[in-house]
Amino acid sequence: MVRHSKFDAVIQRLAQFEAFVQSQLGMRMDFKMSTFRHHHFRRHHHHLKSITNRFG
């Protein structure tokens, strides 16, 4: 029973560490992707508008 609880604690700590690492990486990736997507969208917005106007 003691060994089991110790094992659970280790797994919980690993899970917390993994979640922390994933959140750090995820935040960085989301930031990169959002800024990239924003610039990409801004650059092509006018072009998309003209296409939709032509065929709309």
Q: What's the confidence (pLDDT) of residue 13?
A: 94
Residues 6 or more apart in contact with residue 43 via CB below 8 angstroms = none
Mean local confidence (pLDDT), 4-16: 90
Q: What is the 3-state secondary structure (H, E, C) of 1-56?
A: CHHHHHHHHHHHHHHHHHHHHHHHHHHHHHHHHHHHHHHHHHHHHHHHHHHHHHHC
Res 48 pLDDT > 60: yes
The domain limits of the chain are 23-56
List the one residue out of 20, 39, 19 whose CA is nearest residue 31.
39
pTM here is: 0.40
Res 56 pLDDT > 60: no
Looking from the CA of 28 toward its CB, the CA atoms found within 13 Å total 5
